[in-house]
């Protein structure tokens, strides 16, 4: 299977919370990242979490990491229409310079 | 704005041709990475340079090559282009290597007709 897996699509209403999930297979993953890609744009780094952490909060974003289940989630509180984008989960491993990306989750926020 | 620049933004060319994509990293970064984003393959790592030296190769075709110059900008050369090479090509940069955070440029959209 894929190294990093994400659900492909999520639809929410403005003001609700969004939760985007990601699973990874490599237990040696060191950092886990969330990137955002708006239509026609590049990848914007949103946040990242080191593998020895369980949770990281940054304004409306909360990242939860369950290392035992190799599960990562990104919660966006009070989702706005401007949050509509594709969200990529990515992992890096100690000793490797590459990022391994999931296929991305398209978040659609309706008014 | 990540501070990573890429030119051109769009490129349209024909099969069999050769193109060069250019990337300028953030001023403090020594590493440059190239990624290809296509609908079927998603985001795939191509190659990594650090301070002018190749450090890692990913799923890069033999028809593709890259280099990093003394001023640290990088070029990705794609030759004998095929329809399937149509994709978004991203450059990213980081301060060092390993798990240093990578910052992405806006990408170059290549269309091969």
Q: What is the pLDDT of residues B39-74, one digit of tens each?
A: 888 899 999 999 999 999 998 999 999 999 999 999
Comparing CA positions, the residue from B26, B58, B23 lying closest to residue B42 is: B58
Comparing CA positions, the residue from B105, B82, B111 lying closest to residue B35 is: B105
Chain A neighbors of B58, CB-CB under 8 A: 98
Measure the CA–CA gap between A62 and A78, rounded to whole angstroms.
12
Task: Express each pLDDT in B70-105 by its tens digit.
Answer: 999 999 999 999 999 999 999 999 998 877 889 999
Mutate which: A5, A26, A41, A42, vs B, most B CBs within 10 A: A42
User: Looking at A10-19, A21-30, B19-28, B65-74, which range is the least confident one?
Assistant: A21-30
Measure the CA–CA gap between B107 and A44, rounded to whole angstroms.
12
Measure the CA–CA gap between A82 and A111, rounded to whole angstroms.
11
Query: Are A98 and B58 in contact (CB < 8 Å)?
Result: yes
CB-based contact, A87 to chain B, within 8 Å: no
Q: Which two tokens stand for residue B59?
A: 């799923």
């Amino acid at each position: 299977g894929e190294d990093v897996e994400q659900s492909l699509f999520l639809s929410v209403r403005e003001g609700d919370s969004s939760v985007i999930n990601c699973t990874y297979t490599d237990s040696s993953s060191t950092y886990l990242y969330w990137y955002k890609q708006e239509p026609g744009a590049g990848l914007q780094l949103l946040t990242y979490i080191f593998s020895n952490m369980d949770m990281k909060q940054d304004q409306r974003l909360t990242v939860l990491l369950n290392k035992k289940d190799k599960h990562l989630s990104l919660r966006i509180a009070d989702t706005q229409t401007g949050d509509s984008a594709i969200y990529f989960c990515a992992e890096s491993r100690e000793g490797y310079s590459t990022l391994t990306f999931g296929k991305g989750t398209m978040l659609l926020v309706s008014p | 704005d990540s501070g990573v620049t890429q030119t051109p933004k769009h490129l349209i060319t024909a099969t069999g041709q050769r193109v060069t994509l250019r990337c300028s990293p953030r001023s403090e970064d020594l590493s440059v990475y190239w990624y290809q984003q296509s609908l079927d393959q998603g985001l795939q790592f191509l190659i990594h340079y650090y301070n002018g030296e190749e450090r890692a190769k990913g799923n890069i075709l033999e028809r593709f090559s890259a280099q990093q110059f003394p001023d640290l900008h990088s070029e990705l050369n794609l030759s004998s282009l095929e329809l399937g090479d149509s994709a978004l090509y991203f450059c990213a940069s980081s301060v060092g290597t390993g798990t240093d955070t990578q910052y992405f440029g806006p990408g170059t959209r290549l269309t091969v007709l």
